[in-house]
Chain A
Amino acid sequence: MLCAICAILLCDLYSKDGRRLTYILSQVALVGTLFFTWGVTPDGSATAFGGSFVMDTMSSVLKSWILIVSIGVLLYSRDYVLEREITTGEYYTLALSGVLGMMIMVSSSTMLTLYLGLELLSLSLYAMAALNRKDVRCAEAAMKYFVLGALASGLLLYGISMIYGATGSLVFSEIAAAMAADSSSSAAVFGLAFVVAGIAFKFGAAPFHMWVPDVYDGAPTSVTLYISAAPKMAAFALAIRFLVDGLGTAHDSWQGMLVILALLSIVLGNLIAIAQVSIKRMLAYSTISHVGFILLGVLSGQAEGYSASMFYAITYALTSMAAFGVILVMDRNGVDIHLLTDLRGLFRRNPVYAFVMLIVMVSMAGVPPTVGFYAKFVVLDAVVSVGLIWLAVVAVVFSVVGAFYYLRVIKYMFFDDPIEAQPVLAPIDVSAGLAVNGAALLMLGLFPGWIMAACIAAFS
């Protein structure tokens, strides 16, 4: 599978002249890998490369979703990238290598592989954020992302080295065994603190969230779309592999850290998002609060919690993909939309996109018929089941606070008059993709069973 991606990456490199061709090749690569992932899924879990590469149910479910989301992301961003004259060949190559990095992260079973996959992903993301050189804000965002990202990688590495020093192994299962034999190891817990900080940075959770709004706002919208969707699932895999597979016995130690992270994320994300006038910044802060919810599920320390937050991560990626997809479509005429008020009267300009955005906003706010409600519900259920009722109450209160700014977007779209009457148009495949995406959010809310079943199977 890896070889397949690498080979296609190389093909991709040499076919830079035909921009359409590159796009089609990338999509074929993603679809091909998707079928390959389905094809080679073993029954239980299997390891390869001397135990440093693992394929289990969780990895195949997450990989499939990462690939599906990436296909959608490339579909939405195709015209934007062409129009802005961003170096197209490199864009797709970097996007594909980012996907490769995510897949490595998802199915790694040693700290070394996990770190390398993470670096592959981050490096692609830094470069993609900087691709639009003509824009000063874009360069600034990329620089911030790079410096802070390098710092976080350093923290993560420091934690890894401490854990390695304490347990004498890089393989997660052996670390777990060593920790079970001697769980009082303060050096390992010390390393754990650094690892949690690194993970929180990669997630964009609250005390480590400074980069999120700037990067979301400054990077080209297509890159924001990419950053906001699939890497969240990869970050979830990062957390699960480290905290559950490796340091599951130190659950008492990391639960407290995650409680603080989740709480701060939900509170800060929702409160600051209210004050935003830029739509991308608003979505960035809303991402922070959703990350808080994903962490809520992880911190419960039980299989139900993990599967709940996996469900949350997957559906959040789908939701955020649809949100930025609509923004991308509206960006078309060469001008990016920045302000929330630019969405004014979208319903009259194109009812389909307005309805997709409506579903997205309602789902993010967590209103019943949509998938966002079910995702929040299962996560909170897991939190309550481990007795952290106060945490669940705070989360609910602040998601109600958050509903305000989502509803404001809906008000702008449906009840305000448009500034320009010109209808928003997009190629038929993009429209179809967005419509399917929006419908999926609704359908998954009504029938969440099959994804949820896959998520539960991943942790049983």
Chain B
Amino acid sequence: MEFKLFLFWVVSLILVGAAVGVITTRNPVQAALFLVLAFFNSAIIWMLMEAEFLSITLVLVYVGAVMVLFLFVVMMLDINLSPLREGFTRYLPLGGLVAALIVGEIVLLISNKWFSAENFPVPAARPADYSNTEELGVAMYTDYLLQFEIAAVILLVAIIAAIALTMRRRPDTKYQRPAEQVQVRKEDRLRIVSMDSGNQESQ
């Protein structure tokens, strides 16, 4: 137990540090890499909470697929972020004040009473043959079937929207039409002009 607690603190510290790094670093590639670090550490925390399936999914899907895509985009687009940061120091005092106020109010309101350790005791450890994945599957496809399906419809709408917004006919681009290329005939491209060779001499 002690070791787990120690591990939790170390991993959480790295997680918070990485999260701060994401928003403070100037280089977008570094920011993306910090985000990878943050995801990885939260995966470890989930692993400590015995949520193996979720933590592996987090690493596979987010670190493995999403972040790699994200890095590609960042590197290819070469966005210059400096104009976005211009107002940062100017708005920092006001923004900081508002943020501090809100945090203060939240802390005052929710004090420790509601989310303290007594209200939410540590769940007992599951036996070794307990299957996380199976439980998730049961919950998702029986209790929350409707929600699951609505989420699927939302993704469908997102696909339709993305395609509708980006697909356009651009007549000015020079692309090949293979079907027409194959069907082309000699007469379409080549014009045989019969020249009278005797004419030149007579001039």
Contact = CB atoms under 8 A, between A and B. Distances in A.
Interface string B119-155: 0000000000000000000000011111101110110
Contacts of A2: 146, 149
Given A126-B161, A190-B110, 12 more contacts: A2-B149, A9-B156, A50-B142, A52-B146, A53-B146, A87-B164, A113-B150, A116-B151, A123-B157, A123-B158, A123-B161, A127-B157
B114 interface: yes
The 9 closest A-B pairs by CB, nearest first: A127-B161, A90-B164, A49-B146, A187-B114, A116-B150, A97-B157, A50-B143, A190-B109, A120-B154
A79 interface: no
A241 to B, nearest CB: 15
A277 B161 CA distance: 33
A186 B109 contact: yes
Contact of B160 (A52, A127, A166, A187): A127
Contacts of A13: 160
A interface, size bucket: 35 or more
B115 interface: yes
B interface, size bucket: 20 to 34
Contacts, number: 84
Contacts of A53: 146
A87 B110 CA distance: 49
Contacts of B189: none
B164 A131 contact: yes
Contacts of A190: 106, 109-110
Given A97-B153, A100-B153, A190-B106, A113 B158 contact: no
Nearest to A13: B160
Interface string A107-146: 0001011001101100110110011010000000000000
Given A90-B160, A130-B165, A165-B115, A116 B109 contact: no
A94 B154 contact: no
A116 B147 contact: yes
Main secondary structure of the interface of B (DSSP, over half): helix
Residue picked from A49, A110, A185, most chain B C-beta under 10 Å? A49
A256 B167 CA distance: 48
A290 B109 CA distance: 33
A216 to B, nearest CB: 20
B174 interface: no
B168 interface: yes
Contacts of B147: 52, 110, 112-113, 116
A120 B153 CA distance: 8
Nearest to B166: A133
A270 B100 CA distance: 35
A64 interface: no
A127 B158 CA distance: 8
A23 B110 CA distance: 52
A9 B159 CA distance: 13
A435 to B, nearest CB: 33
A6 interface: yes
Contacts of A48: 146
Interface string A54-78: 0000000000000000000000000
Interface in B70-128: 106, 109-111, 113-115
A146 to B, nearest CB: 10
Contacts of B154: 116, 119-120, 123
Contacts of A6: 153
Interface in A393-427: none
